[in-house]
């Protein structure tokens, strides 16, 4: 499950619901400050997790009048809150969408997390509401898949449901290849690899030791330029490919870090697949992890560019997985430098279980360097000024982490 931006001070003040003429159930969570979110299915229950405390005035449950559900349950989990929706009917593919609405000081409206749930007969157009935004989840992979009976590939789309997994497995590999070439933000994907499948991969294990202080001099850092080769990543309106943005920034970052005394390795230095052409996602992602483990790195940094169906969405975000006591600290140091020195939105530090930052043993982050779907940011990211500044600020964040 993907949790979004960490907003420890945020508090939920209200949870509301409504049903439109098409019988679309809308759930709106009012929050005092920016907060990340995640949506997942748990049996017949749809869960909306918001990284915010539940206010005392918010009830533990609410009655709902809808063909989809009779009630909402608001569960306080301490540092986050889960809005549970017990469903009365099985959902179809792309039958729920989550997005955020920014705080509007002019109207007095707070920051809101919105979840729209569509019944089987409804067609969703987003009418009567702000344009929907798929949660700012990184495009982890758009690569063609390879038929391999020993390694199963399970792509989870933000708006898919558990009920559709059986149908998904019936799709031919050629259909998957065509689908993966369609770089739409509605297909924001996270690669999940079953543990049994991961165990079958060629896995390199480092010594498990890493340094977290004492300055940059002598530190071992692995940089992962996202995508490459057969996997273009996100694609801009002018055809710009994510893989061609991440690589030059990674090279610039390598040079800066080495000038400060660090030893830097890269998962790729040219436009290639790290594992090899037509690898499965599991093979490709593990190959990137293996580089960090092979050199017993002190840190692993994966560079990506984000994308959204809402072309107005933009900004930096940094993802981490809390496998050590230092992953979050690393993410904060990098995100703080980026957010304080660019005139774009600060989307915050976000927790995610992405393969490369979860499976690797040392502290790791995945940095989303603005949105290729945002025309202003697309123009920026193609320029050397943006690329050099982004590399410099990430380096400064890394240096502060080791201070």
Which candidate in 190, 293, 368, 396 is catalytic? 368
**Dihedral class, residue 261 (left if φ above 0, else alpha if ψ from -120 to 50, else beta):** left
No. of H helices and E strands in the chain? Answer: 9, 18
Q: Nearest 5 degrees, angle CA 172-CA 178-CA 180? A: 100
Task: Give the dihedral sign, CA 335/336/341/346.
Answer: positive
Rounded distance between C-alpha atoms, residue 31 and residue 215, angstroms = 39
- 368 belongs to the catalytic site: yes
The residues near 397 (Cβ < 8 Å, ≥ 6 apart) are: 330, 333, 334, 335, 336, 337, 338
User: Which residue has tokens 């123009």?
Assistant: 379
Tell me the CA distances in angstroms from 131 to 19, 36, 309, 395, 396, one per residue in order. Answer: 17, 18, 9, 35, 36
Give the DSSP H or E segment for 305. strand 299-306
Known catalytic residues? Answer: 368
């Amino acid at each position: 499950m993907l949790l979004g931006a960490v907003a420890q001070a945020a508090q939920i003040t209200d949870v509301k619901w409504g049903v439109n003429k098409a019988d679309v159930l809308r759930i709106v969570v009012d929050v005092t400050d920016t907060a990340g979110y995640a949506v997942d299915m748990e049996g017949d229950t749809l869960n909306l997790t918001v990284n915010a405390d539940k206010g005392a005035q918010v009830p533990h449950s609410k009655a709902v009048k809808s063909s989809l559900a009779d009630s909402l349950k608001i569960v306080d989990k301490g540092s986050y809150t889960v809005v549970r929706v017990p469903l009365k009917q099985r959902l179809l593919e792309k039958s729920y969408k989550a997005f955020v609405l920014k705080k509007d000081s002019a109207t007095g409206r707070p920051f809101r997390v919105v979840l729209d749930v569509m019944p089987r007969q409804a067609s969703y157009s987003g009418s009567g509401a702000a344009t929907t935004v798929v949660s700012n989840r990184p495009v982890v992979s758009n690569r063609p898949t390879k038929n391999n009976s020993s390694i199963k590939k399970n792509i989870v789309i933000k708006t898919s449901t558990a009920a559709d997994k059986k149908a998904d497995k019936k799709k031919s590999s050629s259909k998957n290849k065509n689908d993966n070439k369609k770089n739409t933000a509605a297909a924001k994907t996270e690669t999940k690899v079953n543990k049994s499948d991961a165990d079958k991969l060629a896995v390199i294990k480092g010594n498990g030791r890493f340094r977290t202080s004492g300055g940059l001099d002598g530190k071992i850092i692995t940089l992962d330029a996202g995508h490459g080769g057969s996997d273009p990543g996100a694609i801009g309106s002018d055809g710009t490919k994510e893989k061609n943005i991440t690589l030059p920034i990674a090279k610039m970052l390598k040079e800066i870090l080495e000038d400060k005394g660090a030893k830097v390795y890269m998962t790729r230095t040219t436009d290639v697949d790290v594992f090899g052409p037509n690898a499965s996602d599991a093979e490709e992602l593990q190959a990137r992890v293996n580089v960090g483990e092979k050199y017993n790195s002190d840190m692993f940094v994966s560079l990506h560019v984000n994308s959204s169906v809402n072309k107005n969405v933009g900004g930096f975000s940094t993802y981490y997985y809390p496998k050590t006591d230092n992953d979050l600290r690393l993410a904060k140091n990098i995100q703080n430098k980026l957010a304080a020195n660019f005139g774009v939105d600060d989307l915050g530090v976000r927790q995610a279980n992405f393969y490369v930052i979860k499976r690797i043993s040392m502290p790791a982050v995945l940095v989303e360097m603005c949105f290729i779907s945002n025309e202003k940011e697309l123009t920026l990211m193609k320029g050397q000024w943006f690329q050099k500044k982004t590399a410099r600020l990430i380096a400064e964040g890394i240096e502060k982490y080791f201070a």
